[in-house]
């Protein structure tokens, strides 16, 4: 799992620091982006829980945002977000 976190950090480092640039970097995808939703959610959950940095956590949020409009994933997203909210401790993550 740590290799995925490293991959995300590398993608973050390659992009400009603005949020639009980071969103664009996220949209480029990752080695695990074609895995089934549940597998990706497991990876993003690991990234959210193990990272203390804002941008990897922001990317995990972007993953949830990408799928929130798909009814078949809403329950799984809800379960993850309830756990994730316990780690929200500043405005940048709760916006």
| Structural contact between residues 36 and 30, judged by C-beta atoms closer than 8 angstroms | no
* Domain presence at residue 81: yes
**Rounded to whole angstroms, what are the CA distances from 23 to 27, 28, 59, 71?**
6, 9, 8, 23
| 10, pLDDT greater than 70 | yes
| Structural contact between residues 8 and 59, judged by C-beta atoms closer than 8 angstroms | yes
Find, among 18, 84, 92, 81, the residue nearest to 50 by Cα: 84
Residue 85 confidence (pLDDT)? 86
The number of folded domains in the chain is 1
* Domain presence at residue 50: yes
Q: What is the mean pLDDT of residues 25-42?
A: 98
Q: Which domain holds residue 47?
A: 36-86
Find, among 56, 77, 76, 52, the residue nearest to 65 by Cα: 77
* Domain presence at residue 53: yes
* Domain presence at residue 57: yes
Q: What angle (nearest 5°) sits at the alpha carbon of residue 63, between those of residues 62 and 68?
A: 95
* Domain presence at residue 40: yes
Burial class of 55 by CB neighbour count within 10 A (0 to 12, 13 to 18, 19+): buried
Q: Which residue has the higher pLDDT, 26 or 52?
A: 26
pLDDT interval class at 7 (50, 70, 90): very high
Residue 94 confidence (pLDDT)? 55
Tens of pLDDT, residue by residue over 47-94, are 999 999 999 999 999 999 999 999 999 999 999 999 998 887 766 655
């Amino acid at each position: 799992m740590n290799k995925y976190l490293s991959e995300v950090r590398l993608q973050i480092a390659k992009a400009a620091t603005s949020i639009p640039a980071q969103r664009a970097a996220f949209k480029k995808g990752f080695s695990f982006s074609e895995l089934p939703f549940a597998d990706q959610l497991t990876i993003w959950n690991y990234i959210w829980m193990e990272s203390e940095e804002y941008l990897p956590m922001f990317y995990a949020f972007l993953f949830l945002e990408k799928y929130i409009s798909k009814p078949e994933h809403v329950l799984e997203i809800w379960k993850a977000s309830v756990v994730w909210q316990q780690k929200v401790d500043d405005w940048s993550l709760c916006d």
